[in-house]
Structures are given as structure tokens and as C-alpha cells.
Chain A
Amino acid sequence: MTADGISVDTAHTLAASTIHRRGRPVGVTAGAGFILVALLAVLPYVASRVTTYDLVELYTLGVLGTMWNLMAGYGGMVSIGQQAFVGAGAYAVVWFTNNNGVNPFLGVPIAAAVCAVLALPTSYLVFRLAGGYFAIGTWVVAEVAKLFTTQVRSLGKGSGVSLQKMSHIDPTLRNRLVYWMALGVLTLAIAATYVVMRARLGLALRAVRDAPTAASTLGVKVQRSKRFVYVAAAAGFGAAGALTSLHTLRVEPDSAYSVQLTAYMIFIVVIGGMGSIEGPIVGAIIFWELQRELASLGEWYLIILGTVAVVVTLYVRNGVWGLVSRGRLHAFPVGYTLGGGPRESGRPRGSRKGEDERPDDNAGNLKGVVQ
């Protein structure tokens, strides 16, 4: 093959290729999701109160996992200090609803907004650090947040505070309302992540995660993208904290700002599978179940969890979801593939592929490059 011959072939290949979104279109996913959410929403009417109560915790874990994955799996930022915003969200509910009479269920969006506002200036500080030092830096921020909060008397100082205003509402109704709020926040978190990831920002984020310098030379605004993710995730964490407040009706600084929360987030995402939307959901379910089964084991439960997380990180890169789906199944497809072009088996060049067809194996070779 002469040099000329090779280049002509390549040009033909590229011209015949088109870029398709992986898997099915948004409408189908949204429709299926809507049905699922509707089913879950009806659940409190058929299930016991205990189940409803427990599921709130599952949904909250799902939010925590999805948000941590948004930061780490998609944004490339490993933070061990997001409990700062969980705690801030929890206390925001206390401040607005308990102390200042705002409707408790407005508390959740308000908490999310408060955390977003707090996250913006914080990002300028912590973004001066990178990698592991960024991780610890976020933790310092969380510690400072805790220390400041415990100085405020109206927030109960060091011993915590109970949400008395909420205890006037009928327990069953309150239970259901918190359940629906939690389901709503989880749905919103997943939907928002899905939409963002399918948009330009999602592609930009993955480029930044994989090769920041290259990404910035292509015009991706690295800092701005990361800041957006940081602030959005903070809002999510704040909402989760608010949900916990409304759920348990008690907020204590040591548990609201506990680094244990980060441990849970990390386990959920690592074991479920980082870098996909399905992973944290799977991880939350696994974690939630394990927590109920193993709670009686005390410290051993966390030792086991820690060991599993280490083993999974080292040997099962994409977590349980990665094992199950092998990169082919997608409940929430956010990737791209190359379609068209010549196949190794000799199919005619230039044949077009339908929008919704599964990509052929030829395109699969480039998966590592494009997804």
C-alpha cells in the first residue's frame, strides 16, 4: 500500500461515518421513567408506613450517590467534604421552617438554593487545589462549616435541635409528604444529570475529566464547567440534607456534618459503578439493603464495606452496574458512537445506519475514545 493509497481509504471512511447518540432517544427513556415514578408515587397508598418511611432513606441515598457521581464520575472531582452542604441544607430547613415559620416543604428547595449560593464562593477557594489535596480541602471546609454552625444558639449549638413545628402535622400525612418530596428530589436529580450529560456540557465535562489541557485548547471552559457541577451538586446535597431534617425531625451537628456521609456516598458510587447514571442507583439499593441486613454487626459492617470498596475499586472498575451491563446496557444512555463506514466483514461502504439501531462492533472499537 502506498502512502497515497492509505490516505484515500481513510478519507472515504471518515466521510461515510456519522456520529449518533448511543441507544434510544430521550423520549423513550423519559416515558419509561415517568411510568416508573408514577408507580412509585402511588406506593404510600398500598404499602405500610414503615416501608414508606424506609424508602425515604433509600431515595435520599440515591440523591447523595447521584450527586457525588456527578462530581467525581463525570466532573473528575473527588470530594470528601460534601457533608458541608448536606449539613447546611439540614440546618437551612431548621432556620427557615422551625425558626422563621416558612412552610416546611418549601424548605427543601430553599435549602438547595442556599447551598448553591454558599457553594459559589467556596468553589473559588477549593479550586485552588487539585486531586487529593482538593479532597482534603473540601473536608476542611466541612469542618469549618460545622464549627461555625455549632456557635449559633438558635441552631441548637453543639447539642442539636428538633423540628417542633413539623410534629403538629398528622404523622401519616407527614410521612407521605416527605416520601413524595424525596421521590421528587431523586427524580429531579437523575433527570437533571441525564439532561446535562446528554447536552454539550456533559461532553465537555467528560473531556475535562479525561484530558483537561486538551479540552481547554478545544474551547471547553474548564473552570466554568467544573464550577457549574460543583454548585449544582451542592444544591443536590443541600436538598438531601433538608430531606433528612424533615424525615428524622432532628438535626445534630456531628451527624449532619459527619464525614460518614461521604463514606456512604463513596461506597454507593464505587460499588454501584462510577461514571454512569445507573451506577449510583444500583449502589444505593445495594447499600440500603446491606445496611439493614448488617446493621447488627456494628463496626464490622463498615469494615466489610470498606474492604468491598477497596476490592471493587481495584478489580471491578465499573462496579456492579459495570459487571451487569458490560458497557452495553443503558437505562440512561448518554454516550455517542460512530455509525456508517466500512465493516471488517465487507459490508458495502457508506451504508447508512438508522438513528436508533444498535451500533455495530466496528464502532465499538472506538468506544474508549468517544464514550
Chain B
Amino acid sequence: MTLLSVDHVDARYGDFQALFDVSLAVREGETLAVIGANGAGKSTLLKTIAGLLRPARGEVTFNGQAVGALPAHRRVAMGISMAPEGRRLFPSLTVEDNLLVGAYSGRSGPWNVAAVCRLFPLVAERRSRLAARLSGGEQQAVAIGRALMSNPRLLLLDEVSLGLAPVVVEQLYAALPQIAASGTTVLLVEQDVRQALRVADRIQCLLEGRTVLEGTAGSLTREQIAAAYFGV
């Protein structure tokens, strides 16, 4: 079934329009990657889905319900969870406290602190460290773990690779199959096309706020993707 659908959404920041008539649909259980260059509107799209931004036009439907008017904190209770751009861990809280905050909505499911620690062993080692004292890659792992703690049906991952070394990014994405296996639908946003292609079932490419390409990961050629990505 279609878990999430975004229909003809416009989004703006004040006078600046970031999304133009964007639509997408994610089926339950699949992994969709939205790719595009800087400023393409990918993070704006995720913010609109998560509830940090209201669409100026169009509708966001989750699990059959229109959620466009719902504030972000209510969408978490429904099963949408996001690891935001730039990690945004709570710096004065320990890693463990960060994870526990992730469970605030009280949704039940397979994910808890122990499960996250099994997924990312480095998290287990740093449980009592203050979040501000972690490296970028460690923070990203905690951020993903924190988002999982609410046992979401839909996990939004915003630019996991941002500012991280390729080796670290590989390790992080290596955990994705396990996440998908637990039944979570994943919508990830990435500038790193290679990584996105490796983990996603389907791809959608944005350019300056508009969809320019979509299709299954296997059916699109490198040339097609590059052309859409760079707008040539």
C-alpha cells in the first residue's frame, strides 16, 4: 500500500519558493531515495513531510490521512520520524539521553536503546558521553538511532553523508538493510548518488524545486541520472 503520498506540493520560505508542484509516493516497506544537488529542495521536501514546514499548496497524506495541517510533534505519534540535516543532537544531553528522548512519543516496537546499540556498536561504547563531544560520524549514528527509537513506520533520513568521510558513510548505510528488514519504510535524501543507488529501491531526482526524473534504481542509467542531477 502507499504509505506516504505527496501531491502537487509548493513550499516556500517567505518570498522564496523552494518546491514547485512536487509529487511522490512511497509504498510501505520500500526505500525511496530523493537525490539532487545543493539547493534542489530535498531538505525542504523532508521538512514538509515531517511537519516543520506547511505546504503553500498541495497535500501530504500519510497512511490515508491528510497530515498537511498537523504540527510536527503530532506526526511523530502517527509514525513519521526524521533524522534531520546536520544531525541536530541535543548537545547538553548524553548519547543515552538523546536516545531516550527519541522514545518520548511512547510508540511500541522493536527499537529500544539495546536494539540501537546492537545496530551501531559505537553507540553502545559512547552511551554516557555528552552528544557535543562526538565526532560527525558518531553523531550521525546516534541521530539515526534516535529517530528509530520512536518506532516509526516511515523513517526520514536527511543528508546522512553531509560532511562525513566516505568510509564513515559506508558504515552508516550498511545498517540500512537491517532497518528496512524490521519493516520500516525509508525515505532518504542524498547528494551522494552512489550511496543512494546502492540502498534504494526507487530514485527521484529534484532540480531547483522540481522533479526531473524518477524510476527504479535498476532501470535508470548513469547518464540519465547525471543529466537530471545537473540539469543539462
Cβ-defined contact, B15 with A365, below 8 A: yes
Minimum CB–CB distance from A369 to chain B (whole Å) comes to 8
Closest residue to B207 on the A side, CB-wise? A3
Q: Which residues of the partner chain A approach B207 to less than 8 Å between Cβ atoms?
A: 3
Cβ-defined contact, B231 with A3, below 8 A: yes
Minimum CB–CB distance from B28 to chain A (whole Å) comes to 36
Minimum CB–CB distance from B12 to chain A (whole Å) comes to 13
Minimum CB–CB distance from B21 to chain A (whole Å) comes to 13
Closest residue to B231 on the A side, CB-wise? A3
Cβ-defined contact, A3 with B15, below 8 A: no
Q: Which residues of the partner chain B approach A3 to less than 8 Å between Cβ atoms?
A: 207-208, 231
Bound Cα distance from A131 to B106, whole angstroms: 37
Q: Contact string, A1-22, partner B, CB cutoff 8 A, digits 1/0? A: 0010000000000000000000
Q: Which residues of the partner chain A approach B208 to less than 8 Å between Cβ atoms?
A: 3
Bound Cα distance from A3 to B230, whole angstroms: 10
Bound Cα distance from A266 to B192, whole angstroms: 54
Bound Cα distance from A365 to B16, whole angstroms: 12
Bound Cα distance from A365 to B14, whole angstroms: 11
Bound Cα distance from A140 to B148, whole angstroms: 49
Q: Which residues of the partner chain B approach A365 to less than 8 Å between Cβ atoms?
A: 15
Closest residue to B230 on the A side, CB-wise? A3
Bound Cα distance from A105 to B207, whole angstroms: 70
Q: Contact string, B5-33, partner A, CB cutoff 8 A, digits 1/0? A: 00000000001000000000000000000
Closest residue to B15 on the A side, CB-wise? A365
Within 8 A of B (CB), among A176-235: none
Minimum CB–CB distance from B19 to chain A (whole Å) comes to 16
Bound Cα distance from A3 to B228, whole angstroms: 12
Minimum CB–CB distance from B48 to chain A (whole Å) comes to 22
Within 8 A of A (CB), among B178-232: 207-208, 231
Bound Cα distance from A3 to B231, whole angstroms: 8
Q: Which residues of the partner chain A approach B231 to less than 8 Å between Cβ atoms?
A: 3
Minimum CB–CB distance from A360 to chain B (whole Å) comes to 17
Within 8 A of A (CB), among B133-162: none
Bound Cα distance from A365 to B15, whole angstroms: 9
Closest residue to A1 on the B side, CB-wise? B208
Closest residue to A366 on the B side, CB-wise? B15
Q: Which residues of the partner chain A approach B15 to less than 8 Å between Cβ atoms?
A: 365
Bound Cα distance from A337 to B14, whole angstroms: 19
Within 8 A of B (CB), among A58-115: none
Bound Cα distance from A332 to B41, whole angstroms: 42
Minimum CB–CB distance from A104 to chain B (whole Å) comes to 55
Minimum CB–CB distance from A277 to chain B (whole Å) comes to 27
Within 8 A of B (CB), among A316-371: 365
Bound Cα distance from A365 to B208, whole angstroms: 23
Bound Cα distance from A3 to B207, whole angstroms: 9
Bound Cα distance from A3 to B15, whole angstroms: 19
Minimum CB–CB distance from A214 to chain B (whole Å) comes to 16
Minimum CB–CB distance from B41 to chain A (whole Å) comes to 14
Point out residues on B near A: beta carbons under 8 Å.
15, 207-208, 231
Q: List 4 A-B contacts (CB under 8 A).
A: A3-B207, A3-B208, A3-B231, A365-B15
Top 4 A-B residue pairs of the complex, sorted by shortest distance between their CB atoms = A3-B231, A3-B208, A365-B15, A3-B207
